[in-house]
């Protein structure tokens, strides 16, 4: 895979929140606007079942500079799928009283609702009300324009490129409108996410609100935590929950596997005769090994994170880049922050795994803003970027 294809796949994976593969791409130009037209594929869960399906679609990705708040726009689900989606929830829907047709045809999701309302000018809403069926994803300097699960045939490409160029021009005008409101930040703040969660219905809305309340961490709590002498004895619950994964289930499973790995073989030896007893040997080995590994890695992870929080040394550094991985933990994507700081006159590199606050981390990396980094005294490559945590004011 070429570097340009790999970069495009990574950008689209971020925008679509899927592991996207770029099957084909080509550069084109329309009225002075440079675009990449790509045929992509990814696996997606079917809203009305537990099965998965391959999605294939043609996407237009303009290569011109733009600065957008994060949003996702797609046609409302209809029929049974729409009813199921509404019950499950998962996205707040930004509606406009003066654009009833647009609001009826499209679901517009935004964490930072104030910025997205300004971006979606009346001109943009009128266009999509007259041209139903489009899907748009935007975030920072990336935007993807497509029709969901639709691949353009060769005789449809010219029309698709023209439409995509026109849509991008509309969003450029929306960006210009945002520029006229410098008091409105485009970056999603914790307060924005909490406000969006309050407006979300269904099961997913309740889960998100519960999770945000569970990991709630204020800037005052962070300052108080960092001001403590080492070893830090008082760790805010929100900080602990953001940094240390909930390992109770994994530890419980490890204990159960170990118990089963002992009890079942003993019962086999008591109830079975002769060579039949040998069946207990591989059973015991398998369950004891699996349970032991669960316990070992769970306890090791907890111990390392506790050591980092209690004994980590505080340094000022920078986020060099944010790397997206294919790993998910409890349904959350894992990202790796590549960090650097000056230690004893030398540049030191370290990494930190994060599962939330990604937009904030990317902003800090792009701006080169100094960040606070906690470094494990026993492992310099094990670190925590304090400013990339989900912190409220």
Cβ atoms 188, 196 nearer than 8 A? no
- 98-133 pLDDT per residue, tens: 999 999 999 998 888 899 999 999 999 999 999 999
pLDDT, position 287: 84
Same domain for 88 and 116? yes
| Residue 201 resides in a domain | no
Q: Is 60 exceeded by the pLDDT of residue 48?
A: no
Say if residue 191 is exposed, middle or buried (CB neighbours under 10 Å; 0-12, 13-18, 19+).
exposed
97 band by pLDDT with thresholds 50, 70 and 90? very high
Say if residue 348 is exposed, middle or buried (CB neighbours under 10 Å; 0-12, 13-18, 19+).
middle
Q: How many CA atoms lie within 13 A of 188 on its CB side?
A: 28
Same domain for 277 and 345? no
239 band by pLDDT with thresholds 50, 70 and 90? confident
Q: Got the DSSP string for 99-147?
A: -HHHHHHEEEEESSHHHHHHHS-HHHHHHHHHSTT-EEEEEETEEEEE-
| Residue 67 resides in a domain | yes
Same domain for 19 and 135? yes
| Residue 18 resides in a domain | yes
Same domain for 273 and 355? no
Domain final residue pick, 179, 207, 227? 179
pLDDT, position 83: 44
Give the residue with greater pLDDT, 282 vs 89. Answer: 282
Alpha-carbon dihedral sign for residues 22, 27, 29, 35 = positive
Same domain for 37 and 86? yes
pLDDT, position 47: 43
Same domain for 30 and 172? yes
Same domain for 144 and 281? no
Kindly state the percentage of the chain with pLDDT values over 90.
34
Domain final residue pick, 157, 179, 201? 179
364 band by pLDDT with thresholds 50, 70 and 90? confident
pLDDT, position 310: 92
Q: Is 70 exceeded by the pLDDT of residue 80?
A: no
- 251-298 pLDDT per residue, tens: 888 888 888 888 877 887 777 777 777 777 887 888 888 888 888 888
pLDDT, position 79: 47
Instruction: Count up the domains in the chain and report the number.
Output: 3
What is the rounded average pLDDT of the residues 148-166? 92
Domain that holds residue 258: 248-307
Same domain for 74 and 130? yes
pLDDT, position 88: 44
Same domain for 259 and 356? no
Helix (H, G, I), strand (E, B) or coil at 216: coil
Q: Is 80 exceeded by the pLDDT of residue 321?
A: yes
CA dist., res. 332 & res. 179, Å (int): 33
**pTM listed for this prediction:** 0.71
| Residue 192 resides in a domain | no
**What is the domain-level CATH number for residue 379?**
2.40.50
| Residue 117 resides in a domain | yes
135-140 β-sheet, strand order:
21-30, 33-45, 52-62, 142-146, 135-140, 68-75, 106-110
Weakest mean pLDDT among 102-111, 146-155, 240-249: 240-249
What is the rounded average pLDDT of the residues 149-156? 91
pLDDT, position 118: 95
pLDDT, position 90: 54
Weakest mean pLDDT among 28-32, 137-141, 309-313, 386-390: 386-390
Give the residue with greater pLDDT, 90 vs 187. Answer: 187
Domain final residue pick, 179, 206, 236? 179
Strands (E), 274-331: 313-329
């Amino acid at each position: 895979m070429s570097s340009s294809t790999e970069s495009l796949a990574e950008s689209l994976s971020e925008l679509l929140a899927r592991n996207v593969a770029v099957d084909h791409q080509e550069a084109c130009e329309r009225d002075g606007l440079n675009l990449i037209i790509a045929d992509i594929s990814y696996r997606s869960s079917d809203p009305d079942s537990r099965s998965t399906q391959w999605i294939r679609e043609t996407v237009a990705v303009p290569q011109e500079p733009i600065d957008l708040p994060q949003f996702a726009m797609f046609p409302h689900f209809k029929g049974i799928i729409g009813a199921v989606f509404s019950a499950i929830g998962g996205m707040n829907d930004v509606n406009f009283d003066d654009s009833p047709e647009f609001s009826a045809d499209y679901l517009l999701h935004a964490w930072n609702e104030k910025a997205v309302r300004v971006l979606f000018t009346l001109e943009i809403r009128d266009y999509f009300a007259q041209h139903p069926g489009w899907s748009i994803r935007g975030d920072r300097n990336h935007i993807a324009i497509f029709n969901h699960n639709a691949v353009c045939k060769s005789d449809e490409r010219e029309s698709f490129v023209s439409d995509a160029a026109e849509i991008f021009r509309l969003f450029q005008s929306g960006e210009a409108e945002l520029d006229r409101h410098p008091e409105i930040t485009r970056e999603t703040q914790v307060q924005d996410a909490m406000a969006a969660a309050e407006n979300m219905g269904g099961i997913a809305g309740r889960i998100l609100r519960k999770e945000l309340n569970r990991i709630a961490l204020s800037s005052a709590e962070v300052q108080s935590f960092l001001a403590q002498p080492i070893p830090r004895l008082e760790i805010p619950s929100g900080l602990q929950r953001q940094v240390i994964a909930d390992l109770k289930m994994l530890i419980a499973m490890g204990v159960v596997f170990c118990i089963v790995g002992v009890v079942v073989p003993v019962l086999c030896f008591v109830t079975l005769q002769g060579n039949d007893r040998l069946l207990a040997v591989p059973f015991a080995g398998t369950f004891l090994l699996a349970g032991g590994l669960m316990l070992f890695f769970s306890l090791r992870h907890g111990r390392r994170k506790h050591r980092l929080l209690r004994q980590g040394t505080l340094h000022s550094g920078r986020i060099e880049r944010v790397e997206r991985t294919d790993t998910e933990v409890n349904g959350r994507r894992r990202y790796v922050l590549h960090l650097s700081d000056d230690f004893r006159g030398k540049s030191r590199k370290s990494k930190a795994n994060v599962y939330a606050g990604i937009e904030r981390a990317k902003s800090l990396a792009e701006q080169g803003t100094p960040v606070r980094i906690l470094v494990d005294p026993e492992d310099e490559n094990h670190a925590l970027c304090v400013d990339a945590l989900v912190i409220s004011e």
